[in-house]
Amino acid sequence: MMFPTNFFLSTLLLLLLTCSTGVEGGFFKKKHRRTKAGTQYNNHDAVHVVVNKVGPFNNPTETYRYYSLPFCRRHADESEHKAAIEEELPPGAGMPGMDDEDADVSGFVSSGRRIKADRVGAERHKHRIGEHLAGDRRETSPYELSFNDDIEWRLLCKTTLGSTELTKLKEAIHNNYFFEMFVENLPMWGYIGDFENEDAILGEVEGQSQTYLFPHLHFKVGTNKNQVVSVTVTTERDRRVDITNVHKPTTVTFSYSVEWFEDDLPWKLRMTRYADSRFLPGSFEIHWLSIINSFVLVLLLTAFLTIILMRVLKNDFSRYLELDDETLEEEESGWKLIHGDVFRFPEYPVLFCASVGTGVQLMVATFLLLFLALTNLISTTRRGSILAGMVVLYCLTCFVGSFISTRLYFQMNGKAWVRCVLFTAGLFPIPTAIVFMWVNTIALAHGSTSALPFATIFTIVALYSLIAFPLTVVGGIAAKNYASHDFNAPTRTTKVAREIPTEVPWYRSKFCQMIISGFLPFSAIYIELHYIFASMWGHQIYTLFGILLFAFILLVIVTSFISVALLYFQLAREDHRWWWTTFINAGMTGFFIFGYSFVYYFHRSGMSGVLQSSFYFGYMAVVSFGFFLMLGSAGFHFSLLFVKHIYSRVKCD
């Protein structure tokens, strides 16, 4: 009955997905297709400007639709444009960019095209799943740009803003709102306004502070071989409008100008220019010094641990092998004494096996994602491609996680393997879904574009239902039927567990070991972590995936070596309950990463507000939980190999 039920649920999800897409515009309202990047233009061909979102610069997740603010949704016609020029120019002056012959023909500006006024704003574009995950909501704009046609000044629209509109704009300006636009997937940013003479503590002071709106935009477009390779937009302070008094209706003239120039930047390298953008924070330098520092730290640490462990183990092996059987009974102590208990399986085996399997799955997905990003098989400059890639890779690697967890569960003589499969299927997605429902509800309440539309939600649910969950079941079945169920322990486990010593020095306590095992690996990635946070929770594009892959490998190596070293000390004090202890110790770096997120939020960033805080701490908890599972699984597997090795080298009765 399982397969018909799953088929019915899958069909229902697809129907809901289709209906959801239709409600958003698939059936009732046609969405615009994006202009294909790399289009070859002829002179005077239309070039479309796409608007995306606005929001506080310091809160990158708190974004709203561009037209949530009272911007122009239609373009002024020729008569309105000519009237606006006559108002701004002194008597007898000609129109900007026009000679006397063209002055009789209204609507011409420079050598450009006649104003058509046929472009309407606020009509939505089609989006990829990654763009939805990144909070993009692209819409049409009324700006009329034509290829290689300079425009010195052109009226967009002239409108009178009332108290409500002025209040919205004023609040946005005081919250440092920026806007984002695109031309052929090339982003450009700018601030919507500025304020002066505001007190740092009291804020706006009546009679002293001024708030200004920037109604004029200057587009600068670079071309190479009839292709658009660079775009920037700037605001002009000389044309700003004072909107300090929101109770007085204010007439605002929105306008724009366009400048075209030949750029020697190849089209394939067009995204590299954003490292030098004046709007974004300083570019990421290749921080070789920090990487070398981390590498030396890891090298010294692993060498130190290896030398110490090898010398100690060599002495232990020599002592145990030289003793005869009678003397061994009298002097047996340390880790050999618990040979009959060290392979006693842990409590809660279903949860333990699911955690190990999920950790392996996440690690495989992470390595695949970094490899694909490093080889440019996943475009790191495309909006949301990393998020979408991780979602797809997680679904495709569910087979691995289920196979590992179910195989380990059978090796522990488990019988309820279906329960193990279900735990593996939900261990990571369920906490993620809980966090998502919380932050998405807050985003919906704020009207933010960070709230995922229903179509994207159903797409992700369909991916999980039709790909991830079936692969999880298949992995469990494959482990049940084809994987080896023999644990191959080198010693026999006694029926009665040995009593564990309770008196241990404080520096050998579990809490102290947890701090050590979390802090040392964290110190190896601390510097790189700052750049990753600045990319995840900022406006910069992270491109140093080779360094990131190297740092991740160092993190796994350090975590594994420290886990093995601490495990030896635990076994030496005759404590055989090492399974959960090793997993938790190895995963403690995840808790340090979550702790660092508080430091970054309060001391390294300007983020604030309920919406941004919910997204930040909610998803950082998910990321930290993922690192806990990944590193815990890596530490456990290395520790298991270590334990099997040392107990296979000595004679045990």
User: Buried b / exposed e across 172-191, counting CB within 10 Å, b at 16+?
Assistant: bbbebbbbbbbbbbbbbbbe
Do both 453 and 601 map to the same domain?
A: yes
Indicate whether 496 belongs to any domain: no
The bridge status of strand 151-161 relative to strand 241-242 is unpaired
Contact 612, 62 (CB under 8 A): yes
Q: What is the pLDDT of residue 28?
A: 42
Do both 423 and 536 map to the same domain?
A: yes
Per-residue pLDDT tens digits for 518-569: 998 898 788 778 878 888 888 777 777 888 888 898 889 889 988 988 898 8
Query: What confidence tier does 203 reach under pLDDT thresholds 50, 70, 90?
Result: low
Comparing 109-118, 160-169, 467-476, 571-580, which segment has the lowest mean pLDDT?
A: 109-118
- Cβ count within 10 A of residue 97: 17
Query: What confidence tier does 599 reach under pLDDT thresholds 50, 70, 90?
Result: very high
Distance in angstroms (rounded) separating the CA atoms of residues 103 and 88: 15
Indicate whether 135 belongs to any domain: yes
Going by C-alpha positions, the residue among 526, 588, 586, 523 that lies closest to residue 298 is 523
Do both 24 and 82 map to the same domain?
A: no
The 3-state DSSP class for residue 486 equals coil
Distance in angstroms (rounded) separating the CA atoms of residues 93 and 87: 11
Do both 254 and 295 map to the same domain?
A: no
Determine the average pLDDT of the residues in 194-210. 68
Distance in angstroms (rounded) separating the CA atoms of residues 345 and 382: 47
Burial of residue 527 (number of CB atoms within 10 Å: 0-12, 13-18, 19+): middle
Contact 524, 555 (CB under 8 A): yes
Q: What is the pLDDT of residue 93?
A: 43
State how far Cα 339 lies from the chain centre. Answer: 46
Per-residue pLDDT tens digits for 464-506: 999 999 999 999 999 999 998 898 888 888 888 788 877 777 7
Indicate whether 320 belongs to any domain: no
Q: Higher model confidence: residue 105 or residue 274?
A: 274
Residue 452: is its pLDDT beyond 80?
yes
Distance in angstroms (rounded) separating the CA atoms of residues 67 and 76: 17
Query: What confidence tier does 122 reach under pLDDT thresholds 50, 70, 90?
Result: confident
Distances (CA, A) of 393 to 263, 340, 390, 434, 530: 38, 41, 5, 21, 25
Most distant CA pair in the chain: distance in Å?
118
Strand partners, 213: 193, 241
Indicate whether 354 belongs to any domain: yes
Query: What confidence tier does 275 reach under pLDDT thresholds 50, 70, 90?
Result: low
Do both 298 and 200 map to the same domain?
A: no
609 φ/ψ angles, rounded to the nearest 5 degrees: 95, 155
Indicate whether 316 belongs to any domain: no
Do both 65 and 8 map to the same domain?
A: no
Residue 95: is its pLDDT beyond 50?
no
Do both 12 and 79 map to the same domain?
A: no
Indicate whether 312 belongs to any domain: no
Indicate whether 237 belongs to any domain: yes
Distance in angstroms (rounded) separating the CA atoms of residues 86 and 96: 11
Supply the DSSP symbol for 193.
E
H or E element, residue 567: helix 545-572
Do both 104 and 196 map to the same domain?
A: yes
Do both 14 and 79 map to the same domain?
A: no
Range of the domain at 401: 288-306+348-486+506-648
The 3-state DSSP class for residue 576 equals coil
Do both 12 and 67 map to the same domain?
A: no
Supply the DSSP symbol for 604.
I
Unique residue bearing structure tokens 């018909």: 4
Indicate whether 464 belongs to any domain: yes
Q: What is the pLDDT of residue 361?
A: 97
Determine the average pLDDT of the residues in 411-422. 93
Structural domain total, the chain? 3
Do both 530 and 409 map to the same domain?
A: yes
For the entire predicted model, the pTM comes to: 0.85
Helix 417-426, helix 349-374: angle, nearest 10 = 40
Q: What is the pLDDT of residue 222?
A: 94
Residue 23: is its pLDDT beyond 60?
no
Average pLDDT of the chain, as a whole number: 83
Do both 399 and 477 map to the same domain?
A: yes
| 115 Rama class: left (phi>0) / alpha (psi -120 to 50) / beta | beta
Distances (CA, A) of 249 to 69, 75, 238, 271: 16, 22, 21, 42
Per-residue pLDDT tens digits for 282-333: 444 545 666 677 777 777 777 777 777 677 666 666 665 565 454 544 445 5
Supply the DSSP symbol for 17.
H
Q: What is the pLDDT of residue 287?
A: 59
Per-residue pLDDT tens digits for 428-437: 999 999 999 9
Per-residue pLDDT tens digits for 335-377: 778 888 889 999 999 999 999 999 999 999 999 999 999 888 8
Supply the DSSP symbol for 272.
G
Residue 277: is its pLDDT beyond 60?
no
Helix 288-322, helix 510-536: angle, nearest 10 = 160
